[in-house]
Structure 1
Amino acid sequence: MGKMPIWPNANHEKDVIDILIWNRWLLRVLGIWPLVYPDTTRIEKILAMFSFTLCWTVLSLFLVLTSIFTFTDRSVMSEKMKMLGPLGYVFFSMLKYFFLVIRHKSFRRCIKILTKDWRMVQEGYHREIMLRDAEKGQILSKFCIVFMYCGGLSYNTIMPFLSQMPDNEQNITIRPMAYLGFDILFDLQLMPIYVFAFCLQCFTGVVMFNITTSVCCLAAMFVAHACGQVNIVLTRVENLIKKECSRVKFEQCMAIIVQHHVRALKFSASIENTLREICLIELVGTTLIMCLVEYSLITCSKVGYTSYKIEWYNLPGKAALDLMLMITMSRHPTQITAGRLISLSFTNFGNVLKTSVAYLNLLRTAV
C-alpha cells in the first residue's frame, strides 16, 4: 500500500488554535489543560496546579456538607429529597472530573492526531470540508456552554431569592442559599460570611458547569473532526470514479483512500475508548436525577392514598363522595416524558437498562 503524500497546511496552527479555543478555556479553569495539551508554558502549569487543587477542594467541601445535611437528622424528609438531586449532580461531576484526569493521555493522543490531520491537509477543498465540519462542532459547543451557564447560574443566583423563606419563629432571617447544608460550617447570619458562602456556592456551580461543558465540547470537537475525515474520504472516492486514469495511478489513489479511511476509523475508535466511561456516567447520572425530579412531581399521587386511609366512613352522607374526585385526579399524576413517548421513572429506567443489555448480547451473538 502506497504512503499518503504530505503537503503541509500553512494555516494548520491557526486552524488548530481556533478549534481548541473553547476546550482550552474550559479545561484551564479545571486545571487539566496542560495534561491534554503538551505545548504549555511553565507559568500555565503552575496556574493549572493551583486551579486543580482549588476545584477539587470546593467540590469536596460541597459534597461533604451536603451529605452531612442530607443523611443526618439535620434535615426533614422533604429537605432530604430536595438535596438528593444536587448531591447526585456534584457526585457525578466529580466522577467525570476524575475520568478526565485519568484519561488525559487518551485525550492528548486524540488531539495529536487531530493536529496532524490539519497539518497534512492535501487539497484546499479538503481544508474547506474540515472547516465546515469543525464549525458544526463549534456551534454545538457554544450551545452547550450557553445552555449550561444560563440555566445553572440562574439556579444558583436567582432561584434562591425567588423562593426566599420568611423569618422563622425566633425572628431570625433565613438567608437564601441555592444548596442547603452550608450553615453547618458557616454562620450565615453574619453578612460577610453569608456573602462568602454564597459566592463559594456559585463558584462550585461554575466548576461543575465547566466539567459538563468540557466533556460536551471535547466530544463535539472529536466527532466533528471524525466526520470531516470521513467526508474527505467520500470526496476522494467520488473524484476517483470521475477521473480517467491508468491502472497504476488508480491503484495508488485507491491505496491513499484506504489509508485515509483506516486513519479515520482508528480515530473514531480512539474517541469511543476515551469517552466511554464519561458517557456512561453522564447517562446514568442524568437519568437518575431526572427520575428524582419525576418522583417530586408524582407525590401528588399520595393525595388519593391519604384520602382513602382517613376515616371517610364517619363523614356525613354526600361529603364522603367529594373525596372520589381527589382520588380520581391523583390516579393521573404529572409526569416528565421524553418526547411524549416514554415517562422518566425508575421503572422505565430499569426497563431501558434491561433492553440495552439484551441488545448488547444480541449484537455479540450476531457478530
Structure 2
Amino acid sequence: MRTRCHPDMRNEIDILGHVPEPSKKSERDLKYSTELNRWFLTPIGMWPTRSTTGICEKVFSEVLVITSCFLICFLLVPCGLHTFLKERDPTLKMKMIGPLSFCCMSITKYLFLVARKDSIRVCFEHMDVDWRRVKLLDDREIMLDNAKLGRFVVWLCAAFMYGGGFFYHTIMPFSVGNIVTPDNITIRPLTYAVYEPLFAAQTTPAYEIVFIIQWFSGFVNYTVTIGACSLAAIFVLHICGQLRIVMSRLENLVEGSSDGKCLEDRMAEIIELHLRAL
C-alpha cells in the first residue's frame, strides 16, 4: 500500500531542505557553468560583486563601467557628428549607419546591464543554490549537460563577434591603405570617421592614439554583446536543466522512488522545483 502523508502548509525549506554549505564539487560545477560569464563580464565591470567584496574591488568595477561607457561614446559621438553634420555623400552616410546602429545598440544593452546588475547577481545566487542542492547523480548529469551546451553557445558567439571585430577594426583599415585626395592631402584610414572640429585625427601621434582607442572601443562593443548573449544562454539552459529534472520527477511520481518519500512529498517537491525554475 502506498504511504500517504498529511498535507500542510510548507515553505521551500520544509520541502527541499536547507541550503547546504558549498562543497568542492558544487563550487567546481558552479564555476564550470558560469566561468565564461565571468571572463566576458569582468572586463566591462558587469560581473556582480557580493556584499562581502572589498571596497577596492567595488571601486575598480565602477571604474571599468565608466571607462566602458567612455569608450563606446568615443566611437558613437565623433562618428555620428561627422556622418550627420559634415559628410555630404549619401552613399558614405548610408555606409556609416550600420556601425552607428551597432554602437547605439551596444550602449543601450550596456546601460540595461548596469541597471539590472543586482538582478543578475540574484540569478547567479539562485544557480549557486541549485548546484548546492544537487544530490542525485542523474540530476547533476542533466545540469552539467545543459551547462556544457551553454558554454558551446557562448564560445560560438564569442568566435563570431571577436573574429568579425578583429577583421573590421584591424585588418580592414590596413588593407585599404592611405587615400590621397585631389588636393594632395593624405588621409589615413580609421575604422570610424572622426568629426574634425572636435580634434584632428590625421596628424601624428593623434592618429595612432585615436586608432588604438577605437580598437579598444570596438573590443568593449563586442564584449558587451557577447556578455549579454552569455547571460541569456547560461540562464536559459540552466532553467532547461531544472525543467528536465522536474520531468524526471514526474516520471517517477506514480512508480515511486528509492528515497522512501510519500506521494504528497514527491508532489510538493515537483511543484517547488517547478516554481524555482519559473
Q: Give TM-score scaled by structure 1 length.
A: 0.66
**Out of 4, 9, 26, which is 2:16 matched to?**
4
Per-residue deviation, residues 196-224 of structure 1 (Å, max 9, x unmatched):
11111111111110111111000001011
Q: 1:111 corresponds to which residue? A: 124
Structure 2 counterpart of 1:30, which letter? I
Query: Is the partner of 2:186 in helix, strand or coil?
Result: coil
Question: Are 2:270 and 1:260 equivalent residues in the alignment?
Answer: no
The verdict on how the C-alpha distance between 1:248 and 1:25 changes in structure 2, with shifts beyond 3 A counting, is closer
Q: 2:80 corresponds to which residue? A: 67
Inter-partner Cα distance in structure 2 for 1:128 and 1:191: 58
Inter-partner Cα distance in structure 1 for 2:156 and 2:52: 28
**Out of 33, 39, 43, which is 2:47 matched to?**
33
Larger radius of gyration: 1
Inter-partner Cα distance in structure 2 for 1:103 and 1:89: 21
Q: What is the deviation of 1:248?
A: 7.5
Indicate if the aligned counterparts of 1:6 and 1:122 stay in contact, CA closer than 8 A. no
Question: Are 2:25 and 1:17 equivalent residues in the alignment?
Answer: no
> Where do 5+ consecutive residues of structure 1 fail to align?
266-367
1:1-367 map, 5 Å: 3-6=15-18, 8=20, 10=23, 11-34=25-48, 37-38=50-51, 40-164=53-177, 166-181=179-194, 183-243=196-256, 249-265=262-278
Inter-partner Cα distance in structure 1 for 2:19 and 2:217: 46
Structure 1 counterpart of 2:241, which letter? G
Identical residues among aligned pairs (%): 38
Structure of greater relative contact order (alpha carbons < 8 Å, 6+ residues apart): 2
> Where do 5+ consecutive residues of structure 2 fail to align?
1-6
Indicate if the aligned counterparts of 1:186 and 1:197 stay in contact, CA closer than 8 A. no
Name the structure with the higher helix share.
1
- How many residues of Structure 1 are paired with residues of Structure 2 in the alignment? 264
The verdict on how the C-alpha distance between 1:39 and 1:225 changes in structure 2, with shifts beyond 3 A counting, is farther
The verdict on how the C-alpha distance between 1:188 and 1:230 changes in structure 2, with shifts beyond 3 A counting, is same
Inter-partner Cα distance in structure 2 for 1:244 and 1:134: 26
Indicate if the aligned counterparts of 2:48 and 2:120 stay in contact, CA closer than 8 A. no
Per-residue deviation, residues 8-33 of structure 1 (Å, max 9, x unmatched):
46321222222221211222211122
Query: Is the partner of 2:164 in helix, strand or coil?
Result: helix
Structure 2 counterpart of 1:5, which letter? G
Query: Is the partner of 1:93 in helix, strand or coil?
Result: helix
Structure 1 counterpart of 2:251, which letter? E
Query: Is the partner of 2:35 in helix, strand or coil?
Result: helix
